[in-house]
Amino acid sequence: MWGDSKPMFKSQEEIPDYFPSTPRNDWSIGLVKLVTILVIFMAGVVIGLSISAHFGRYYNSQTDLFFPSTMYTSSCEKDCMDFKNFVKPSNLMHTMTDQQLYWRASLVPKMEEFPFNRVPKVAFLFMTRGPLPFAPLWDRFFKGHAGLYSVYVHTLPDYRLNVSKDSAFYGRQIPSEEVSWGSITLVDAEKRLLANALLDYSNERFVLLSESCIPVFNFPTVYEYLINSAQSYVESYFIETPQCEGRYNRRMAPHITLDQWRKGSEWFELSRELAVNILSDVKYYSLFRKLCRPSCYPDEHYIPTFLHMFYGELNSNRTVTWVDWSRGGPHPARYGAVNITVEFIQSIRNSTCLYNGRPTSVCYLFARKFAPSALEPLMNLTSTVLEF
């Protein structure tokens, strides 16, 4: 009987499930889990990108100070610095202020050897208000001597030289400012010419000229004379006259005393060393700017006085530009076509002075003041007496 009896309790497997899970509920729970995971993932991505950007900006800002990204670009066009253009700017136009220009031009390399084939050149600095009537004469003078000279022209700011493309003056104007006769602006123009010429590291000698200047020797003679000279050529003297002693301002003392005061022609010739020293001076230039006015003519006193005070042994105390003051007055004599003869040019060329400590008859390389009418007869003398 007991064997046929059925168990009173069913096994766990046989107990029916009175709360079965429906397929719809399983799908909703899975969807919620998926959305939650996606939200957490996206939040992590956003936070990660934010942190990465923050550190990236900081890292780049620090490293760019020392390792600019432009240094590593494979193509270098207009934004990269080219060494050739650094030692010899191909374009004379720039946007630098005078202060920035003077600072840049006064940089002096400490290394004695140049990392390029440096051939010393003579820089011809022309200061003019307008046209250059003797440009054809100068072009004939320069012809055949490329690489041994440079030309720089300071004009009125809005003036443009009208010369042919094959002229030595083509594209040689520098950024210029207004200039007033007898004022410190003349010194500023001189410094501006020197500074632009100093940007070319091959320029070794610097000659200041005007539109009324002419050469009285051929280029080889001028080049050898200047490049091989142990001194510069800046006229510097003192005389007890109203035109010299009378222009001294006693307020310049004790920085500049009367016995240090000097006068001379503004048409200088300078070595590179002296050009840099003049351009680097701030103290004495500022004194002249403040105290050398009116009727003081700083262009006739600043450079002669400065060189006498500090670099007298490097200066010959004479000029290489002939001029005739024999007629008196505030301006020198002016010569036109009727004055141009072989004898007249020879009289300028033959003189007596010292060159590198020895007597010589070659004292003046250039001459002024000449009227435009003198051009034609001078051109007729280039193949004979002038020898170019």
CA distance 30 to 180: 90
Rounded to 10 deg, the angle between the 302-310 and 283-291 helix axes is 140
Q: Tell me the pLDDT of the chain (388 aa) as tens digits.
A: 444 444 443 444 443 443 344 444 555 666 667 767 776 777 676 676 666 655 555 445 444 444 444 443 445 556 566 888 888 888 899 999 999 999 999 999 999 899 999 999 999 999 999 999 999 999 999 999 999 999 999 999 999 999 999 999 999 999 999 999 899 999 999 999 999 999 999 999 999 999 999 999 999 999 999 999 999 999 999 999 999 999 999 999 999 999 999 999 999 999 999 999 999 999 999 999 999 998 899 999 999 999 999 999 999 999 999 999 988 888 899 999 999 999 999 999 999 999 999 999 999 999 999 999 999 999 999 999 999 9
As for how many domains the chain has, the answer is 1
> 268 lies in a domain?
yes
Q: Is residue 347 domain-resident?
A: no
Question: 10 Å Cβ neighbour count for 285?
Answer: 21
The domain in which residue 124 lies consists of 87-320
* Per-residue model confidence (pLDDT) at position 268: 98
Query: How confident is the model at residue 79, as a pLDDT?
Result: 59
DSSP 318-376: S-SEE---TT-SSS---B-GGG--HHHHHHHH---EEETTEEES---SEE--B-GGGHH
**Phi, psi (rounded to 5 degrees) for 122:** -105, 125
Distance CA(112)–CA(308), nearest Å, equals 27
Composition of the chain by helix, strand, coil, percent to 5: 40, 10, 50
Residue 241 domain-assigned? yes
Q: 60 lies in a domain?
A: no
44 falls within a domain: no
- The reply to whether 130 falls in a domain is yes
The token duo for 106 is 């006064």
What ranges make up the beta strands (E) of 164-235?
Answer: 203-210, 214-215
> Which pair of structure tokens corresponds to residue 388?
């170019």
Residue 125 buriedness (CB in 10 A; 0-12 / 13-18 / 19+): buried
pTM over 0.85: no
Residue 80 included in any domain: no
Predicted local distance difference test score (pLDDT) of residue 330: 81
Position 16 scores a pLDDT of 44
Domain at 269, CATH number:
3.90.550
HEC sequence for 208-224? EEECCCEECCCHHHHHH
Computed over every residue of the chain, the mean pLDDT equals: 87
Domain-located, residue 35? no
Q: Which tokens sit at 298?
A: 């700083």
